[in-house]
Structure 1
Amino acid sequence: MLGGNLPYTTHVAMVANELIFAQREESVGAFEVALPAALLHDVLEDTPVTQDQLAEAFGVEVASAVACLSKNLIVPFSEALYFAGIASHSKEAASVKLCDRITNLQSAPSTWAKAKRASYLVESAQILAALGHANGYLRQRLSDTMARYEALYVEGFEG
């Protein structure tokens, strides 16, 4: 996960960058939907912007993908239902979520204990299983990134 003193935009730019490189290798779906969704994927969770406002500014497809990627904090959260919702929504949404997780696995917060780091890796495997079908290139990128994360931040963690 990214953290520290990095600007908010660093994370979304990295997710978009992953998506751009993936598109060069294999389709991530409608790129004109996937790229803005990558840049906006945290907006509904992190700001007061509404889905209707996103739809007005970026179109219904982008807003729908962003909404699908956003965790609903009003109802009890279920990872399985969340991942299934993304998988059934669109190739674009699944590709963005894969890029998001690849980016989040670049490092682990120093405050996370080994058990939390291992748990995050297990959740990453669930994402891979649920969404990896959307893009073979991203499936392999996430798998490789998970192996690196495990070696550096789980097995190699002395905390």
Structure 2
Amino acid sequence: MPTTDLQHLYNKAWLFASQAHLGQTMKASQLPYSTHVAMVANELIFADREESVGALEIALPAALMHDVIEDTSVTQATIADLFGERVASVVASLSKNLIVPFSEEQYFQAIAAHSKEAAAIKLCDRITNLQSAPATWTQTKRASYLVESSQILAALGHAHEYLATRLNTAMVRYETLI
């Protein structure tokens, strides 16, 4: 897909995600939630420059919308109508609320089995989330989040060496926040 098409796709997905998350903020922050999804997409773009994240025309809009099904009333069918079945499938694979009953292990295994795009986005999501710890989190919650990050690295790190290294570095930095 030509760069201009990726730019159009990014803007379309960014506007869609921003509208879907309107009124939501990042944890313990006044920043709009769309800041988080933009950071995840940014991480993905730079990772793709180092090593392929899969089909960028699938991964990029999915990164921007990775929490839309989980955190808003938007459905997988709506995403499929607007962005195609493959993008919608990746977004759905990243949505914890679609796994019933939920288990972390099953969730991470499903992402790993789904696609390189899904694994890369989850790695980018966690890298972004580890940039700071919400001030409202207890030391126990922060430690638990670090353990979960290790599980993500173990389950998905094989999918993208560059992002695995980035996640490992983010975890070392995060550990100082505990």
TM-score (norm. length: structure 1) = 0.93
Within-5 A mapping of 1:56-75: 56-72=81-97, 75=100
Of 14-23 and 68-77, the range deviating more from structure 2: 68-77
Q: Decide which of 170, 173, 178 is 1:145's aligned counterpart.
A: 170
Aligned-pair CA distance for 1:45: 1.1
Identity among equivalent pairs (%): 72
Corresponding position: 1:26 with 2:51: yes
Q: Distance in 1 between matches of 2:28 and 2:163?
A: 23
| Larger RCO (alpha carbons 8 Å, 6+ apart) | 1
Aligned-pair CA distance for 1:73: 5.7
Q: What is the root-mean-square deviation of aligned Cα atoms in Å?
A: 1.2
Tell me, what secondary structure is at the counterpart of 1:4? coil
| Aligned residue number for residue 80 of structure 1 | 105
> Residue 99 of structure 2 contacts residue 107 of structure 2 at CA under 8 Å; is this kept in 1?
no
> Residue 28 of structure 2 contacts residue 135 of structure 2 at CA under 8 Å; is this kept in 1?
no
Which blocks of at least 5 consecutive residues in structure 1 are unaligned? 155-159
Tell me, what secondary structure is at the counterpart of 2:59? helix
> Residue 14 of structure 1 contacts residue 103 of structure 1 at CA under 8 Å; is this kept in 2?
yes
* Count of paired positions: 153
Aligned-pair CA distance for 1:50: 0.7
Query: Taking structure 1 as reference, are residues 120 and 52 closer, same or farther at Cα in structure 2, changes over 3 Å only?
Result: same
Which blocks of at least 5 consecutive residues in structure 2 are unaligned? 1-25
> Residue 86 of structure 1 contacts residue 94 of structure 1 at CA under 8 Å; is this kept in 2?
yes
Query: Taking structure 1 as reference, are residues 61 and 107 closer, same or farther at Cα in structure 2, changes over 3 Å only?
Result: same
| Aligned residue number for residue 157 of structure 1 | none
TM-score (norm. length: structure 2) = 0.83
Tell me, what secondary structure is at the counterpart of 1:72? helix
